[in-house]
Chain A
Amino acid sequence: MPHATMPSVGFQAIILCGPGESMSTFTSNRKDFPKALIPIANRPMVWYPLDWCYRMGVTNIHLVTPPESASAIEAALSQNPYLTSLPSPKPDVLAPKDLTQTTGTGEIFRLPEVQREITGDFIVLPCDIICELEGTSFLESWMVQEAGLGGATGGIGDNGPIKSGSGGEKKGRRGGLAIWYPTKGENSIKDEETDFVATTPLSAPIVAPPASSLRPDIGNLVYSMPTDTLNDVVEEHGGFPIRHSLLRKHGRIKMETNYRNAHIFFFPYWILEMIKRNEVIENISEDVLGWWAKAGWQTGLGDKLGLREVLSSSSTPNEDMHESTDLDGMLDDEVDVASLSSTWTSPSTKHPSHQTPLDTSNSLISPTAPSTSSVAPFQPLTIPPILAYIQPSTTKPPLIRRVDTAPALLTTSLLLAKLPSLEELQTTQQQQQQQQQQQQQSPNPPPSTPASRPSPLAHPAKIAWPEGIEKPSRVETDSTLLDAAVTVGARANIRESVVGANCQVGVGVRLQRCVLMEGVVVGENVQLAGCILGRRCRVEGGAVGKGDGGERTRLTDCEVQEGFVVPWGTEAKGEEFAKGLSEGEEEDEEGDTRMGWQVEGEVEGGDEGGIELG
């Protein structure tokens, strides 16, 4: 995968590697095979957020994981061929000792080990996100909309905390950005979890943004909660109560329930301080986002959350400041880029007493003129906004999806398998070039079509080791991915499938819409459709019995656990094959383990509830 060397973009990434509650069939062995390493289209899950970060120039990456999974992730980072092919520097694995599988995502950021590592603005990602949309597009929007003016940043530099400049959070800049993606539409997963999100439009741009800009789909977040919480609220109150202060501030509010939070957050440094100060914050997507969004319009909430102190001294979390070595002069308080800029309205002066008596109606110009005459006890707090990018559900949107359930794993893997590989693209491009050259000979060359850029998620080749396929057999390369060292027996028929490294597909096997993780052995004449087979499991083969009632193995929509052996003659539909568990027990088991610090939103059912702030 080509990684152009982006300059440093001023962010560091925190990838949360959770336990994977909703894929319990494959995450039972968290010590050796944590969720982060489950393959999606043959690449370990964590490869996707890592690659995304590297591509946008973020190289300071930390993987946060409970201590029990740390060694497995460390090992994979230095051994897995996909992970080792990522550019350097290697991500650091952070395994805070107090971090358990049930720690909330907000609590993670209160752990001293994590806090120590965050020295500036940061991006929070789950390990199960696949985002085809380039991170740089989000960065562009963030930089234009939210980056501090005149180099204002926050964080901890070499010489202690960096002073926040005047163009930063004090002036309502340096907010955040979160991403939502549609759950309905093409290739969507059935019954995917959704979030409730309400946004207001941003103020009109000074000039039209460039065509590639995400700006038209970015709004100002005013409400955010899981749909389940929303349903609870609606049930409780017999409707969704909306505060007047919201309507007073925003006339046009767009509410959506068909989108899901991608759990990618671009956060300024001061958010860390906010999480630290408010012990009630349990997780990010619900508490941090929800409160931050509300604080933007609910008067007094910002003060309740301690944001006034956070924003005014956000960059001085340590009491022992080395101000003398700081490179900042006394200038920052004096110069304000925004008020110099000709495209900004400068804030009104602090001398309301000089108001002229002939205060004619200026309503034409300023509908929102702040009442300068009313003497407020203190200045109203400006809270930097949290922006929401809501991916429009167009016909072929770039893929953004969280892969946290088995069906999601299956559909996403198969979707990725359909992407044309780099190899194919090269050949088609060569063909196009040849055509173009031929056309050049002709007097009127038609305009050359722009070469289609390969998807960043495309594999170098669909079949890594073509020699392993015995003839005659059928492998549909359009929609199938075969990893290295896969052997395929004669008369096998593989369609729309992903086969991991070192798998052995026997003679006469039929695979359709299947995902085989690495080292799976599929015996001869087995028929599989819509199945996910865990690592090193075996589906025994045999001779097909005669007639309809003859012995055969046919699995449809099944999940097979790691290392499980499915005996010859099994016919099943929609079952899970797991060690030592009958189906009923399994259900219970699942119920028990179902709370966890998996990046939130995974929890099914509305039992968790949201924290309501009055």
Chain B
Amino acid sequence: ASSERAMAPPTARVTENTDRQPSQADSTETTQQIVDTDRSSQQPNGSAKSAESVPAEPKLSGAELKKKKQAEKAARREREKAERAAAGGTSVAPNTPAPPQAGKGDSQKKSKPNQQDQKSNQQDKDQKSNQQDKAQHFRRGSGTTPTSQKLPVRSSQPSTQAMTRKKPSSKEVGLFGHLYGHPRRQTLHPTPPKEVHPSVLSLGLQMSTYTVCGSNARCVAMLLAFKAAINAYTTPPQTSLARHLTSHYLSPQITYLNSCRPLSISMGNAIRWLKDLIIKIDPAVPEQDAKLDIADSIDAFIRERITAADTLIASAAADKIQNGDVIVTYAKSSIVQKTLLQAHTQGKRFRVVVVDSKPLFEGRNLARALSNAGITVQYALVTATSHVLGESTKVLIGAHAMMSNGRLYSRVGTAVVAMQAAERDIPVIVCCESVKFTDRVALDSIVGNEIADPDELVGEARGEARSEGGTDVEEVQGNAVNNQGALKDWRKRENLQLLNIMYDVTPAEYIKMVVTEYGSLPPSSVPVVHRISTTV
């Protein structure tokens, strides 16, 4: 459980917390229902009296409903406990009622209170009917006379109930349900907090549209934007910069950026460093000096942890490239690009295979840049990985983050490439600055990940072909539209879900080496490097 907690991106945690607050009642309720159905199927011998005791009053106010629910819940808990005690070792222990992820996701979607009321009302009714139903079931089981008419009713009701419960979340993939938070902010509506600086404002939008994408780019852009924001900051009277800046000025900016796209590990590390820097500023230092100091420190941070680190890593990794190598890389990493370009300028002769995937096609940019520089490049999609790996000699990939258990957290698809390479004993080399190292661990890519808008997979369906008149334009776009036709109205199709996750986790055993600015290490050394880099 601790690993789960640690794995979830910090920011995602924050939003979920704030979200859960209003819809608590709701999510608990869905939990209860699941428990109910579970139990009814598993333990048909439960006591029927509590179910019967549910009064059948028609309408209740919100407060009353809540009270009633609480009472019900308490009663159920009691009952469960008693049952469990009674069952002892004879029956299989009931499944621990883990909160169903789909339910949570759907509760987050709702925002209107009256709608919620309706819903809870409905659910209450459902629940009631469910219980009554169960009561009948039990009664039958215990030998009391079941009316023949009731039977079809009983069998039909649960199914309709299940449908109504699932419906709102049917577009969220159940396994990843906990990752669906707010959709990314892509507009300036609703109004962002007043404190947000213009450069942060535009950076947020640039991040949510992937104009600025990639762990390093986002981290650097954020720090530069914060530098501009801090430059524009003035401490209000009767507070000190050290106390006010972080909590009242930087946090709205961070929250805004996070709402545009969840912060990367590197950004989180940079923010932690920046906060630490600010809090340590002596209140006696004049504001202007303090601001200058922060700006200089930010520059130094970028230089030391990213720019200079990149240079070091690139030269170290370039040494690993030999004449005649066929390097496979996945998507686009700025360090990998730098490494390859450096090896090329060193006069080494090698070939590069860029493996890429939908929907961002980041690899195209790498392929173009490399071919512009004169490197022979082959471009393939991830589906062709096994074919492409056949003649390759090394796999060189970048990272979003390195986990403390040595696992690599990177663009989704990396794991496939790494796995297939490891199977063929092709060394997988990861290039990663220490700023991307985290003390968290990841066992899988389900617990912590980022869900992007599923519509990105569909293509330009939402933008609609708005072009008018021009025939050639229509032809060009018409083709594209036809290709997307099948998935275009996926939201309306009942049994269709789209999953667009951003990252995956590559097990440490597939990784031969991690090249950092502290040297080239095995993945098991990640925690050591992390400790060194954070304590220094």
A11 cross-chain contacts in B, Cβ below 8 A = 198
Is A206 in contact with B463, judged by CB distance below 8 angstroms? Answer: no
Binds A, one of B142-150, B174-182, B301-309: B301-309
Q: Which residues of chain B are within 8 angstroms of A344 by Cβ–Cβ distance?
A: 365
Which residues of B in the span 104-142 have a Cβ within 8 Å of any Cβ on A? 112, 114-115, 118, 121
Most central of A7, A139, A213 by chain B CB within 10 Å: A7
How close is B309's CB to chain A, nearest CB, in angstroms? Answer: 12
Q: Do residues A342 and B213 form an inter-chain contact, with CB atoms below 8 A?
A: yes
Decide if B19 is an interface residue (CB 8 Å cutoff). no
User: Looking at the complex, which one of A136, A209, A358 makes contact with B463 (CB distance below 8 Å)?
Assistant: A209
Interchain CA distance A467-B387 in the complex, whole Å: 84
A interface bracket (residues with beta carbon within 8 Å of B): 35 or more
- In the assembled complex, the CB of A160 is this many whole angstroms from the nearest CB of chain B, namely 12
What are the interface flags for A413-448 relative to B under an 8 Å C-beta threshold, 1 for contact and 0 otherwise? 000000000000000000000001000100001001
Stretch of B93-101, B272-280, B372-380 lying at the A interface: B372-380
Known contacts A7-B192, A370-B372; is A212 also within 8 Å of B187 by CB? yes
Q: Would you call B374 and A354 a contact (CB within 8 A)?
A: yes
A334→B338 CA distance, assembly (Å): 14
Query: How many residue pairs bridge A and B at CB < 8 Å?
Result: 249
Q: Does A348 contact B (CB under 8 A)?
A: yes
23 contacts between A and B (CB under 8 A): A7-B193, A7-B198, A8-B197, A11-B198, A144-B211, A148-B202, A151-B224, A206-B361, A216-B464, A331-B299, A340-B220, A343-B214, A343-B332, A343-B360, A344-B365, A354-B345, A354-B373, A355-B374, A362-B371, A365-B367, A369-B368, A372-B372, A436-B114
- Mark out the residues of chain B between 193 and 226 whose CB falls within 8 Å of any chain A CB in the assembled complex: 193-203, 205-206, 209-214, 216-217, 220-221, 224-226
Closest A residue, CB atoms, query B59: A441
Binds B, one of A44-52, A67-75, A322-330, A534-542: A322-330
Contact A337:B195 (CB < 8 A) given known A206-B360, A342-B362, A360-B376: no
Q: How far is the CB of A281 from chain B (nearest CB, A)?
A: 27
Count of residues in B whose CB is under 8 Å from the partner chain: 94
Is B376 a contact partner of A210 (Cβ separation < 8 A)? no
Task: Please indicate the chain B residues that have their CB under 8 angstroms from the CB of A347 in the complex.
Answer: 369
Q: Is B187 touching A140 in the complex (CB atoms < 8 A)?
A: yes
* Residues of A142-181 contacting chain B, CB below 8 A: 143-144, 147-153, 157, 165, 167
9 closest Cβ pairs, A-B complex: A10-B198, A151-B199, A147-B202, A150-B224, A143-B202, A342-B214, A151-B228, A329-B299, A340-B217
Interface assignment of B10: CB less than 8 Å from any CB of chain A: no
A190 CB–B CB distance under 8 Å:
no
CB under 8 Å from chain A, chain B span 337-354: 337, 341, 344-345, 347, 349
User: Which of the candidate stretches B49-57, B72-80, B289-297, B519-527 sits at the interface with the other chain?
Assistant: B289-297
Is A445 a contact of B210 with CB atoms below 8 Å?
no
Tell whether, in the assembled complex, residue B463 and residue A211 are in contact, meaning their CB atoms are under 8 Å apart. yes
Instruction: Verify B299–A330 contact, CB threshold 8 A.
Output: yes
| Chain A residue with the shortest CB-CB distance to B354 | A365
Interface contact A213-B186, CB-CB below 8 Å = yes
Interface of B is mostly: helix
B366 → A minimal CB distance (Å): 8
Known contacts A207-B453, A354-B373, then 19 further A-B pairs from the complex at CB < 8 Å, ordered by chain A residue: A6-B194, A140-B205, A144-B202, A206-B360, A209-B209, A213-B186, A215-B463, A217-B466, A327-B227, A340-B214, A342-B331, A342-B365, A343-B212, A343-B213, A345-B364, A345-B369, A345-B372, A356-B344, A362-B377
Give the segment of B24-32, B435-443, B467-475 that binds chain A. B467-475
A138 and B464 CA atoms in complex are apart in Å by 19
